[in-house]
Structure 1
């Protein structure tokens, strides 16, 4: 039975029947997985045995299963930069839930088709059309699918998820990858959360993982929508590994071989396998972290404040990273002032919330932003007229932070977010050990060490020889 039975659309009839259809498809996936239709892993005849594949061009996702226990999700909308539709959310979530309960599945690879993008985010055109037509209830019901999918991805523990972020990775594409234990960046990776440019805010669980990035780096990225490219995605801790795109096929083959030989795939074994294909940067001429050194310190100086007004003043007063400060002010000037103040409050709230509570809060805020003027204006000018938006209020000084709190945070929904699975009570980022050390940790250890080489050796020992340690330490300390 196909995994991705074609969605019946976005109208009210389809939303009414969604629960029954989704349950039917989930049961079909579970039934297929527990049916012994393939040779057992490790038997001579099971080498690279292909179990099943399902694809439908309209649904935009290809699901492939191998007898080895490695399953693949291919986002298959290359002409749309693999943006996620709502039917794709259903298909991916249903299969991840079923694989988590399967005795066969061991690891899931998720990647994008084509050469440009892993996933450029959610396909928001349906949301815009519904809101412009005054059909808000249907709009928020569709967005619920994105929230549920992100929660499913972020709470999987048995079946390990490996996201291959080869190309543009933005918005919902970030949510689909950042919650995976293993996140592979290549020279083609572009990371950004530009939602403040359309009158919305960085969502897709950004309220959980941006506050847990290094210092105030996450707040800077969320407010400005700044794009990180290539190795910077690795240095920032958004990716856990950095691999050349030309070696991705070899990496996938190595993972499949590892499962065939061992019959299992533990996280440490996955980490070691990926490390074999790491781009060698551990030398003096390694590429520098564009947000390291003086810029990293300036980010912490300027974005440590509790209000947008104070952040703007700090950027204007910045005396060291002056070029960066001017560019940042220019970026902020084009964004929705309401969105900026909204995300600033969300960032600080998310820092102390669990993963699940962050997802529920984002859904509550989205219920307000989608119905609001700023989203309609930002989406309309971005997608339809291609003109500069006219924000109202027009400046951060004219946006009342107390009104933001009352309208978005204190006004509860009649129908809060309901989830597809349990889990997500964690308040700490569960997979930090696979990423590089943070800049703050490097600077703190450098203050206690006699020299740079001593600092490098201490980190190499602490992180069990992880590839990229030396390159990042050199980049952070080369001021």
Structure 2
């Protein structure tokens, strides 16, 4: 199997060096560390430490000297990294029993490797995946955050979110091609590992969701940037409701750029490594796209887009509003997708009123901000939310008592939007996000060329062309026959 072969290869061909809990792989002779590389690594480690806010963790997370190999087996490390001779650099999230939930130590390992590989001529592309077959990454380690919250250690929680958000910013700022295999459960913090890279590969096992409003947080993991840039009002619908998208729907919605059946993943990996072996530098992204397309599923054999047809216009009718009260009223008045509207109202009824209003305002604000400014604002909001009571109540009810949370305030009417804006948005934290690199100043999502056409674009072009069959031909030509184009266009046009 692919993951088994990766694990055994990583352990066989690498020497694992522990750096205060971090696993750093240095490959054999052809990629042995030079003096320059060692100096670069020390500089990176120093940068990771010095850019962190003051916290008890900042003194123990990363050291600038090497420690002996741990007695734990190599396969027990929370993150495994490996540089293949071809130049494909691999990151494996290795907490399968915890659904690969990401913690601050894992963030540091990933950031260190990304910074090192970004500066390395030997790195031609970066490939990230999760171990265990069930999850890519089910989000942040919420239980650990709950324990800290119950101890009143809000500064430490904010510090952890600083690590998470600067990782997300780094992924959205590096220039090396970045490929994320989102095979299995992908939620919250796991979304931050994927959405800001150019290639996001879903499989039939993918389950995608943003459930933060159900635990008293808000739609984060860079959602303030990518959600407003999704198709129509899919962003607020997905973010506010925590709707789970499965398999091909993740691809059709624009979350994934490709959909590859698991039976083809081994062949895809081999083809990418062959491509890298033939390249003299970083891989051309169009070449990567062409390779992934070769192994993409025949989408005409898959289920159609479940949010297409009558649902997509209903999402736009109901979620294209500035306030939660207007959204609720629109759902209650929906006359076409009635069953969908009832299901959606039921979903929203379990969410924190405060969280929903924060998420919706963040969605509208993020539409006008650059990527880096979105990440800065998310960090500010996280600090404010984690200092309040909603997060502790939401996580306690979800993870401990398995009961309905007692939100405060309990209703949308009592959650004052002006007070939320004043407290959460208009009052900065004493500390700000400390990015690890420059970049992220772009206003538009930079990787749309590898995604399927938007429903809105399909409908607009159909109006101009005036013929459904010719509209299908137009998009097939524009997207060079990309898998999924025909099926999505036909689904949106109800052909």
What is the TM-score when the length of structure 2 is the normalising length? 0.87
Aligned match for 1:247, one of 236, 245, 264: 264
Contact persistence 1:22–1:90 (CA under 8 A): no
- Deviation per CA, 1:148-171, whole angstroms, max 9, x where unpaired? 1111111111x1110001100000
Deviation at 1:113, TM superposition (A): 0.6
Contact persistence 1:55–1:63 (CA under 8 A): no
Query: Any unmatched runs of 5+ in structure 1?
Result: 29-53
Runs of 4+ in 1 over 3 A off after TM superposition: 1-4, 22-25, 54-59
Contact persistence 2:128–2:181 (CA under 8 A): yes
Contact persistence 2:20–2:60 (CA under 8 A): no
Hey, what's the Cα distance between the residues in 1 that align with 2:114 and 2:186?
20
What residue number does 1:266 align with? 284
Hey, what's the Cα distance between the residues in 1 that align with 2:95 and 2:186?
14
Closer, same or farther: CA 240–358 of 1 in aligned 2, 3 Å? same
What residue number does 2:246 align with? 229
Deviation at 1:121, TM superposition (A): 0.6
Hey, what's the Cα distance between the residues in 1 that align with 2:491 and 2:18?
45
Aligned match for 2:205, one of 188, 199, 207: 188
- Deviation per CA, 1:175-224, whole angstroms, max 9, x where unpaired? 10111100000000011000000000111101000000000100100000
Contact persistence 1:55–1:61 (CA under 8 A): no
What residue number does 2:31 align with? none
Closer, same or farther: CA 305–24 of 1 in aligned 2, 3 Å? farther
What residue number does 1:78 align with? 96
Contact persistence 2:254–2:452 (CA under 8 A): yes
Deviation at 1:239, TM superposition (A): 0.4
Contact persistence 1:69–1:105 (CA under 8 A): yes
Hey, what's the Cα distance between the residues in 2 that align with 1:57 and 1:377?
35
Aligned match for 1:446, one of 456, 462, 468: 462
The answer to whether 1:337 aligns with 2:353 is: yes
Contact persistence 1:223–1:344 (CA under 8 A): yes
- Deviation per CA, 1:361-418, whole angstroms, max 9, x where unpaired? 0000000111111101001111212211111111111110001001100111111111
Deviation at 1:14, TM superposition (A): 4.5
The answer to whether 1:306 aligns with 2:348 is: no
Contact persistence 1:251–1:274 (CA under 8 A): yes
Contact persistence 1:55–1:62 (CA under 8 A): no
Aligned match for 1:277, one of 295, 313, 316: 295
What residue number does 1:165 align with? 182
What residue number does 2:339 align with? 323
Deviation at 1:6, TM superposition (A): 3.8
What residue number does 1:124 align with? 142
Aligned match for 2:57, one of 10, 15, 18: 15
- Deviation per CA, 1:264-284, whole angstroms, max 9, x where unpaired? 4200000000000010124xx
Hey, what's the Cα distance between the residues in 2 that align with 1:24 and 1:406?
45
SS across alignment from 1:163 = strand
Deviation at 1:22, TM superposition (A): 5.8
Hey, what's the Cα distance between the residues in 1 that align with 2:126 and 2:201?
13
What residue number does 1:42 align with? none
The answer to whether 1:115 aligns with 2:129 is: no
Number of aligned residues: 445
Pairwise CA RMSD: 1.9
What residue number does 2:19 align with? 5
Aligned match for 1:466, one of 482, 491, 495: 482
Hey, what's the Cα distance between the residues in 2 that align with 1:92 and 1:121?
15
Contact persistence 1:237–1:435 (CA under 8 A): yes
What pairs with 1:369-380 in structure 2 (closer than 5 Å)? 369-380=385-396
Hey, what's the Cα distance between the residues in 1 that align with 2:63 and 2:354?
36
Aligned match for 2:174, one of 156, 162, 168: 156
What residue number does 1:35 align with? none
What residue number does 1:36 align with? none
SS across alignment from 1:262 = coil
